[in-house]
Amino acid sequence: MAKKVLILPGDNIGPEIVAEAVKVLQRVDQKYKLDIELDYAHLGGAGLDAEGSPCPAQTLAKARQSDAILLGAVGGPQWDDVERHLRPEKGLLTIRSELDLFGNLRPAIMYPQLAHASSLKPEFVSGLDILIVRELVGGIYFGEPRGIRTLEDGQREGYNTYKYNESEIRRIGKMAFEAAMVRNKRLCSVDKSNVLEATVLWREVISDMAADYPEVELRHMYVDNAAMQLVMNPKQFDVVVTGNMFGDILSDTAAMLTGSIGMLPSASLDKNSGGMYEPCHGSAPDIAGQSIANPLATILSVAMMLRYSLNAPEAANAIEQAVSVVLDNGLRTADIQTEGCKLVGTVEMGDAVVAAL
């Protein structure tokens, strides 16, 4: 039976990088006879402009019927003045929450060819391979009540709610322990349990779960320390599990350790391993339309899609290998450019990966 993949190009550089990833997907489809069927829909600013909503009903309906989704990125200053509920980023939060994509896997892998692109010394980052498992549909980004209210004295007050219940913690914990089991069996749970009650419960539940995974070495770390340790000694980490907001921040820090956010893929999974795959970066309005964006994070997101949702690990490995070959051959987009390498644009980089396949 055909596997349905929904493509959401999104905004700004989104369509540019997604076009390259689709070429790569079509190449492996042909090579490994995967029988993939593509469909397209709008999300973000593109959804708002074309259909009046950042997450149109038709997009959600198509998403529910697909085996996997590939997203470019959403957002940009074009939509700065629209009402909050119509903002492009709201479309992203809506699709994640409607599809219950609670488990966000964000690998931060240092390609040896790019060790000099990191802001840290090569000896701190060479061989780096961290997996951040971030809870994606709960915590303070979704907690109610929330808003901006006027107090009795007339001044305004902004407020949000940080909460996690036991089952929400348990399902992301399970994803993280299982990921650790197939890696180096080390899990670090990040919280702020010295201050926030919600994370006292987080720590208790994750600790209880450790009994089911005796081979995994579990430790806990406060988020402020984790931020410091990530830049001081990043190779101490294997799998990191944390809530939505801390994961948002730490995964961007981990991204920069690897040299460029343009290299990092991500997967957002539901309980049946259906999921949405997207680069970790945003829509980069500052470089949109110039065909200079790095498409590799999106191409590597296709590899994650093949591995986690489409049960095609061979094709996934082939894409990762092809990216490595292209880097070995010295091709670089501007964000990862170093002396002596050949500067290429978005399309040339995509073509090179297809050729290496």
CA angle 94, 96, 318 (to 5 degrees): 145
Q: Is 15 a binder of ligand NAD (CB under 6 A)?
A: no
Candidate residues 20, 135, 278, 320; the one interacting with ligand NAD per rule CB under 6 A: 278
Are 63 and 309 spatial neighbours (Cβ–Cβ below 8 Å)? no
Catalytic position from the list 35, 208, 212, 224 = 224
Active site residue 252: yes
Catalytic position from the list 192, 213, 277, 335 = 192
180 token code pair: 């650790």
Active site residue 100: no
Contacts of 173 (CB under 8 A, 6+ apart): 189, 205, 206, 209, 241
Tell me the window of 29-37, 67-75, 110-118, 187-195 that interacts with ligand NAD (CB under 6 A).
67-75
Are 118 and 335 spatial neighbours (Cβ–Cβ below 8 Å)? no
Candidate residues 120, 293, 302, 327; the one interacting with ligand NAD per rule CB under 6 A: 293
Q: Is 268 a binder of ligand NAD (CB under 6 A)?
A: no
- Residue 290: phi, psi to the nearest 5? -105, -5
Tell me the window of 54-62, 147-155, 218-226, 278-286 that interacts with ligand NAD (CB under 6 A).
278-286
Running DSSP on this structure, what letter comes out for residue 101? -
Give the shortest CB-249-to-ligand NAD separation in angstroms.
Answer: 12
Active site residue 40: no
Active site residue 192: yes
Q: Is 27 a binder of ligand NAD (CB under 6 A)?
A: no
Q: How far apart are CA 238 and CA 215, in angstroms?
A: 14
CA angle 74, 76, 80 (to 5 degrees): 120
Catalytic position from the list 39, 49, 248, 270 = 248
Range 124-183, binding ligand NAD (CB under 6 A): none
Terminal-to-terminal C-alpha distance of the chain: 24
Give the shortest CB-16-to-ligand NAD separation in angstroms.
Answer: 9
Single-letter amino acid, residue 168: E
Q: Is 262 a binder of ligand NAD (CB under 6 A)?
A: yes
How many angstroms separate the Cα of 117 from the Cα of each of 128, 255, 338? 13, 12, 7
Catalytic position from the list 39, 49, 100, 252 = 252
Candidate residues 261, 269, 299, 356; the one interacting with ligand NAD per rule CB under 6 A: 261
Size of the site for ligand NAD (CB under 6 A): 21
Q: How far apart are CA 327 and CA 115, in angstroms?
A: 12
Active site residue 286: no
Q: How far apart are CA 25 and CA 186, in angstroms?
A: 32
Q: Is 92 a binder of ligand NAD (CB under 6 A)?
A: yes
Given the complex with ligand NAD, which of 191 and 335 has the nearer CB atom? 335
Q: How far apart are CA 128 and CA 231, in angstroms?
A: 12
Q: How far apart are CA 126 and CA 149, in angstroms?
A: 49
Given the complex with ligand NAD, which of 68 and 187 has the nearer CB atom? 68
Which residues would be at the binding site for ligand NAD (CB under 6 A)? Answer: 17, 73-76, 89, 92, 261-262, 278, 281-287, 293-294, 297, 335
- The residues annotated as belonging to the active site are 141, 192, 224, 248, 252
